[in-house]
Structures are given as C-alpha cells and as structure tokens.
Amino acid sequence: MIVRSLVLLITAIPIVLLSHHMAVLLEDGLGRLGAPVVLSGVLIAVIVLLPETITTIRAAWMGEGQRVTNLAHGALVSCVGLTLPVVLAIGLLTGQTVVLAERPVNLLLLAVSLLLSLTTFSAQRVTALHGAAHLFVFVLYAISLFS
C-alpha cells in the first residue's frame, strides 16, 4: 500500500506542476481576453476528462447504459478518491492554497447536483427528463462562471 501511494504521488506531482503552469498561462490569456479567470480551471478539467467523456458519449450513442454508468462512476471515483486528495496533499507540501467551490453559488449547485443524481440513480428507469435536468444544472453552472 505504501509503495502504491508513493508511485501515485510520484506520477501525480509532474501532472500537478504542469497543470499549475498551464493554469498560469490560461489565466494570463483569459485575462487578456476579458474572460473570467475561473474559466481556466474549467478548461483544465475538460482537458483531463476529455478521453472519458468521448468514451462515455460513444457508449451512450450505442445504447450501452451500463457502460455509461460505469464510466461516469469511474471518473467520479478517480477524481474524488485519487485526484483531490493528491492535489490537496501536494498543496500542503508546497504551501499553496487549494480552493474548492469557494462561492456560495457553486456550493448550492453542488448540492442540487448531488440531490439530482440521487433522484436519477434511485429511479427505476432513467428518462430523457433526468438528462435534461442534469444539462440544465450544467447550464446554470456555466452561467454562474460569468457572473
């Protein structure tokens, strides 16, 4: 277990450091364009999650509902169970402050997303209305980035 944890940290450190430099470049570029600075974090997250997103969309297009659920949960577990603790640990080791969902709007949207996910996954059958509700919450989040 200790060896695996060390390997995880050793492989995550270059990624975190590169993403930090990428975030600085993105913040500078977005600042020059007049876009909100928080957009850089969203762009980095999109880049990181793009392969899983493409695979999930392909599975959904082919009607493989179980595979879609497995991919979505796998991405969630890897993010919450691995990425966030490693990023927080590296932040502590390097003395950098890591801020997650710093605005009340983000916390509210997180709570709504969790309740909506609970409703969706406890339903006997997932419908297009469930998907539309999730897309609506995502649109609200995107709008909140620019306010």
Single pTM value for the model: 0.62
Structure tokens at 129: 């209305």
Mean pLDDT of 49-70: 87
What's residue 134's pLDDT? 92
Q: What is the pLDDT of residues 2-54, one digit of tens each?
A: 888 888 778 877 877 777 777 778 888 888 988 887 787 788 778 777 888 89
Tell me: pLDDT of 135 over 90: yes
What's residue 49's pLDDT? 79
101 confidence band (pLDDT: 50, 70, 90): low
Q: What is the pLDDT of residues 103-133, one digit of tens each?
A: 888 889 989 999 998 998 888 888 889 989 9
What's residue 146's pLDDT? 80
Structure tokens at 49: 């999650």
CA-closest candidate to residue 134, choices 59, 83, 80, 68 = 68
DSSP string, 49-67: HHHHHHHHHHHHHTT-HHH
